[in-house]
Amino acid sequence: MKLKKVGKRKTTDEKLGVVKRYRLMDITKWNKKFQNIDNITNIFSNVISSKELKGYEIDINGEIRMLSTGNYDNKTNIDKFYVGEVIAIPSGGQINGSNNIKYHNGKFVNSGNLIASSLDNTKYSIKYIWYWMKQNKNLLQTMYRGSGIQHPDMIQILNVVIPIPPIEVQNKIVEILDKFTKLEAELEAELEARKKQYEYYRKKLLTFDEKLGGVVKIKDIFMIGRGRVLSKEYIRMNIGEYPIFSSQTENNGVFGKINTYDFDGEYLTWTTDGANAGTIFFRNGKFNCTNVCGTLKLKEQKNNLKYLFYILSINAKKYVNYATSNPKLMNNIMSEVIIPIPPIEVQNKIVEILDKFEILTNSSTEGLLKEIELRHKQYEYYRNKLLTFKS
């Protein structure tokens, strides 16, 4: 029998065609000329202030994207804008955040970003470059300098070398990664819809004629307290079973655990300082609080504490002082917070409904969060595979 001659099996890179490597500055053009760099510029030169950007009226159905340097990401409709397929990186701050390297194709206004577009769309896909930069955001972060607000060293960034396969391969990689990104976005949109649905019905249930029972100030029905300073060293030396609640909202606010407790029973606690100021928690059992955590204990058992938790979760945020860089809701202000008090039968019914709704929402939310995490890991795996080439 005559054996068929088998040729040498092609490597992955050979199947992809010739993978060339270019400096970022050789395949992009930017919205400004950088000092000591002979980079190519384009027309996207106008940059507005963050204050001006946030002053534009938000229109979720608007055609113009507002490109900021952080997580502020909205749409508007104004007369002056640019059009293009671009990448935006922050001119100051962090580049390795979850949404700090932005891609956009269409109309936009820009605040505080450096804007790049492809030098030649027939050779270099700007979206492929964006995916590569997202994969290597931690490397790019090392090229930001400064002790306070960090700024990019554009000499370093523009000299970063990027693997560039043929344009057909770039487009195919983008197509595959877009599908993963779209699926993750759809799951996140579903999660957000569930949360909004819960918030909508909670607000409807907690909005009623004040004549139904009248209103009270927090100081009229609660004993108002606060936690104490608990250092990390103290916690380390006194590890135990009783939780310490702090200003954080992750992990239900648990900061650590020690072998003693300051509070025992049913309480409401709230975050007094920081980004989460005014966040309310329902507590039951033996626990401790740090000095940035306020406590509320009913003077008399005439009201349903869970109802008060639900209503205060809405009303407390209205009293937070956002005038400083560190938002606050201190004890003296909390004492003046006004809440409606319907008859106890109504309170109990509201709690019954919201408890069931919360269990249902949390159950579906937990499933969605796991699915999002799984899809994100899957996306990162394939992104790393697709964007990694042999030297």
Cα–Cα dist 271/277, whole Å: 5
pLDDT tens-digit series, residues 214-252: 889 999 999 999 999 999 899 999 999 999 998 877 778
Of the candidates 219, 302, 306, the residue with the CA atom closest to the CA atom of residue 266:
306
Dig out the tokens for 375 from the structure.
């899809």
Confidence band, pLDDT 50/70/90 cuts, at residue 11:
very low
pLDDT tens-digit series, residues 354-370: 888 887 777 777 777 78
Q: How far is CA 269 from the centre of its chain?
A: 24
Label residue 278 exposed, middle or buried (CB < 10 Å: 0-12, 13-18, 19+).
buried
305-336: burial string, b at 16+ Cβ within 10 Å, e else: bbbbbbbbbebbeebbeeeeeebbbebebbee
Query: What is the pLDDT at residue 213?
Result: 66
> Residue 169: is its pLDDT beyond 50?
yes
Give me the torsion for CA of 255, 261, 267, 271, rounded to 10°: -30
What is the pLDDT of the chain when averaged over all its residues? Answer: 86
Contact between 357 and 201 (Cβ < 8 Å): yes
The DSSP-derived string for 278-291 is T-EEEEEEEEEEBT
Report the percentage of the chain scoring pLDDT > 70.
Answer: 92
Strand, coil or helix: what is 356? helix
Contact between 79 and 85 (Cβ < 8 Å): no
> Residue 98: is its pLDDT beyond 60?
yes
Name the one residue in this structure whose structure tokens are 């964007």. Answer: 387
Of the candidates 214, 211, 319, the residue with the CA atom closest to the CA atom of residue 270:
319
Angstrom distances, CA of residue 314 to CA of 70, 245, 278, 310: 27, 21, 9, 7
0.85 surpassed by pTM:
no
